[in-house]
Amino acid sequence: MTTPYLHINGIRKIYGPVIATDHVELTIAKGEFMTFLGPSGSGKSTTLYILAGFQDPTAGDIKLEGRSILSTPSHRRNIGMVFQRYTLFPHLSVGENVAFPLRVRRMGQSEIAAKVKRALALVRLDGFEDRMPAKMSGGQQQRVALARALVYDPPVLLMDEPLSALDKKLREEIQFEIRRIHQETGVTILYVTHDQEEALRLSDRIAIFNAGKIEQVGTGPELYANPATRFVADFIGDSTFLKGELVGVSGNRAGLRFGDGTLVAAVPLHGTGTAGQAADLMLRPERIDLSAEAGAEGASLPVTVEDLTFLGNNTTIAARTGWGGALTVRVGFGHPLSGRVSKGDKLHVRWTPDAAHAFARG
Ligand SMILES: Nc1ncnc2c1ncn2[C@@H]1O[C@H](COP(=O)(O)OP(=O)(O)OP(=O)(O)O)[C@@H](O)[C@H]1O
């Protein structure tokens, strides 16, 4: 087996009674864009800070190209870092801010000038050398922070929610720039966010964090199509969960029975489960269809329409099953029922066999 470029090897971090991370295990390829996605307090930043050398792990190791970096002090790890809040030195010009890591490394004046110019060009701030940070927008300041983190060509760049202080439009603009910079430089990026859209837009792979552990690692499409747990299914994409119980578990397929006796036939079962166990049927609003006629038996449910929201390219419909389960369906603008559905209508949601998923409750 080839040595992974970066290996987060069983990292555990305990703060008093709090287990911040619990055996976090992950390998990252050279040049990969890896995102840590998860709710607040799930251990994303702790893992990043251990990589950066700001924190020591309670157990585990971090290896870069096969060698442990834990005993290397933070400033010698050669790892760039960009934080949520602009961390520019307010009394230094943009040029001086970007030059700072090079001065610390005692580089010559002309080399510094050339590298600062190149880094500012990379973030599209050519000619801003003499500007003071206070005279720049939030987005521009964050670009300067990015230029400062990249100016000494670190092989690894860590980014902790770098865009969360910016408004939506600016965030999207800089996401685009970050992607471009990643492609142009080939730097390996580890990026922390709790915004699934941002993670999907930027990443080669995403590690989903939950309560100090990684639940699943995969590309966006892999996580969307094949979530290993209910938590991942809930975190990537939109989903509706209908609570029932497992019947007829066979291999990695199971049926579900609901409150009024309704049965849904064999759907992919994620994780383990036994007959009689409480379980959720997951349906994605854009992967189920709404129709006047029932679909194939076991892959269709009668529903009553409760609410409609027209959103331009689709109409989002809230509906209720016979036993009172709530679900959401998204009907595209060109759909035969688009514009023809009213509150109180009795219709059917239908799906193709692999569009539904079952998750047993723990
Ligand atoms: N210095 C600390 N002392 C004590 N507890 C801490 C410390 N840093 C983090 N924690 C705790 O460790 C857990 C994980 O925190 P962490 O900041 O890694 O989560 P996160 O996923 O990055 O969340 P957020 O998105 O809010 O930053 C939380 O319960 C947090 O309260």
- pLDDT 10s digits, 203-240: 999 999 999 999 999 999 999 988 999 999 999 988 99
- pLDDT at residue 166 in the model: 84
Q: Which ligand 1 atom sits closest to the C-alpha of 161?
A: 25
- 3-state SS, residue 201: helix
The residue nearest atom 28 of ligand 1, judged by CA position, is 41
pTM, whole model, 2 decimals? 0.89
The residue nearest atom 6 of ligand 1, judged by CA position, is 15
- 35 touches ligand 1 (CB under 6 Å): no
Q: Which ligand 1 atom sits closest to the C-alpha of 43?
A: 18
Average pLDDT estimate for 338-357: 90
The answer to whether residues 147 and 119 touch, using CB atoms and an 8 Å cutoff, is: yes
pLDDT tens by residue, 234-259: 999 889 999 999 998 888 899 999 99
How far away, in angstroms, is 47 Cα from ligand 1 center?
10
Pairing of strands 240-250, 278-283: antiparallel
Q: Which ligand 1 atom sits closest to the C-alpha of 194?
A: 25
How far away, in angstroms, is 19 Cα from ligand 1 center?
9
Angle, alpha carbons 211-212-214 (nearest 5°): 95
Query: Taking Cα atoms as reference points, which of 335, 332, 343, 340 lies closest to residue 307?
Result: 343
SS (H, E, C) 71-119: CCCHHHCCEEEECCCCCCCCCCCHHHHHHHHHHHCCCCHHHHHHHHHHH
- pLDDT at residue 188 in the model: 97
How far away, in angstroms, is 232 Cα from ligand 1 center?
20
Which secondary-structure segment (H or E) carries 181? Answer: helix 168-185
The residue nearest atom 29 of ligand 1, judged by CA position, is 41
